Structure 1
């Protein structure tokens, strides 16, 4: 079929239009990926100046721009962790965590790795909830704090981590106690024991361990597992002889004609021996 002159012209314009659109699309995609042509040292100085002015969000974006535009420059590596720090100071913790985690993956063991872990730990620590709520942030904060202590013990951030570790552990122990008491009240003694066991095994240096040993005594007595109850009271009495929890636990055993006694095969005995500053023996 022969095209009329008008129809042929229409086809030509359509073809030209398509080509223009295609070129326009290419130009658009190029525009979005244009990199900053400033030298890396200037970009770093500009970002640092924004930080000094308290413009943390803008500084973070400038550091990220530096990393994208000059990924192989000496300034780019530090820009990643400084972007994380700037985001943290801006209150944007998800972005801070993402940037800091990227640094720890790409540059583990480097000079700024402790700072990156510190930023992650601080972001999660700030998001910690009270003991009756979800403890995901607490666990993640504790994980990062322990990494600082184990991998970078000489860093400033590791030295400052001790108090935060104590707070995080206390929060987790309190959470386990909350759930354990709920199960115990519901007479689900096995589930309760598992919660109290976590406190005695993992959070022995917290104040909650005394009550946990007492609750274990109650649960084991309720189940008729007398030797474990006696061991719990023996450990409690030896290490916390003035504790009200020891007095209550001891009275419970006595009401059944029993006395504290250490079972060397008990998980309680084995767990308590792992504590370097506390010893195991008979009741005080």
Structure 2
């Protein structure tokens, strides 16, 4: 059985053949305006199908109630396994990311060998991914998302989950590299050049960050800082690396103009293997 993905749309207009008429007893739940289902033993198929019908109508909280009831009344059954997966999705769609992550963790703990565990791992990573905030704030969600996405790609290579995870991994790396750049620019503006160099190097030394959009700027900022410190040889060498790898970049144009103003001309970077070029720009 396939379970809904965050990017998919639930099909509408599907008729559920529920032939048993049932009356649902509702009881208030303290602290919440929405009533909860009172316990009443019902056929598992009816509970599950009713929850699925609520899911299709985008009544996410109601759907969760029915799927939870499946779990309570029919634990350790195949229906219970499916119900947890549906809770993961309903919580996600309702924006209850913490609850979706908790349901994903519960599924993995209860059914670690299930083929559907891939879905649980993927949704846990996706919930963290969708809570990533701007680079000016704490990147805890980004780091959690990166760890989860890497786990999905490692556990389920070749799957659709892994394919999407790889795309998201690049996006998260760009976010984390942007965070380093944001801090580096802060240090540079506040006359802390050594601290700024450390942050810019964090971008260019990290192989994952090297593929992000921030690498050309990091090299340019190093040129700026080295010139500020009077380290012209390092500035020229860094400018050369920038020009060799990003010859059409506006950051290289800026670096070239900056160096020529200082009476320096960036040369040609050594033609060694491209994957190791960034490691040679800073001695030690």
**Given the two structures, how large is their TM-score scaled by the length of structure 2?**
0.71
With over 3 angstroms needed to count, the CA separation of the structure-2 counterparts of 1:73 and 1:228, relative to structure 1, is: farther
With over 3 angstroms needed to count, the CA separation of the structure-2 counterparts of 1:249 and 1:106, relative to structure 1, is: farther
Stretches of structure 2 that go unaligned for 5 or more consecutive residues are 1-37
Shift of 1:172: 2.3
- Alignment match of 2:238 (pick from 232, 239, 264): 232
Shift of 1:228: 4.7
CA contact (8 A) 2:243 2:252 kept: yes
Tell me which residue corresponds to 1:129: 133
Tell me which residue corresponds to 1:217: 223
**Given the two structures, how large is their TM-score scaled by the length of structure 1?**
0.71
- Equivalent pairs counted in the alignment come to 241
CA contact (8 A) 1:56 1:87 kept: yes
Structure 2 distance, partners of 1:176, 1:199, is 7
Tell me which residue corresponds to 1:204: 210
- TM alignment of 1:1-284, pairs within 5 A: 37-108=41-112, 110-200=114-204, 201=206, 202-223=208-229, 228-253=234-259, 255=262, 257=264, 259-260=266-267, 273=275
- Which one has the largest radius of gyration? 1
Q: CA RMSD in A?
A: 3.3
Shift of 1:213: 0.9
After superposition, the C-alpha distances for 1:1-38 in whole angstroms (9 at most, x for unaligned) are xxxxxxxxxxxxxxxxxxxxxxxxxxxxxxxxx96533
Structure 1 distance, partners of 2:117, 2:106, is 11
Structure 1 distance, partners of 2:268, 2:228, is 18
CA contact (8 A) 1:36 1:69 kept: no
Stretches of structure 1 that go unaligned for 5 or more consecutive residues are 1-33
Structure 1 distance, partners of 2:108, 2:167, is 23
With over 3 angstroms needed to count, the CA separation of the structure-2 counterparts of 1:230 and 1:117, relative to structure 1, is: farther
With over 3 angstroms needed to count, the CA separation of the structure-2 counterparts of 1:40 and 1:194, relative to structure 1, is: farther
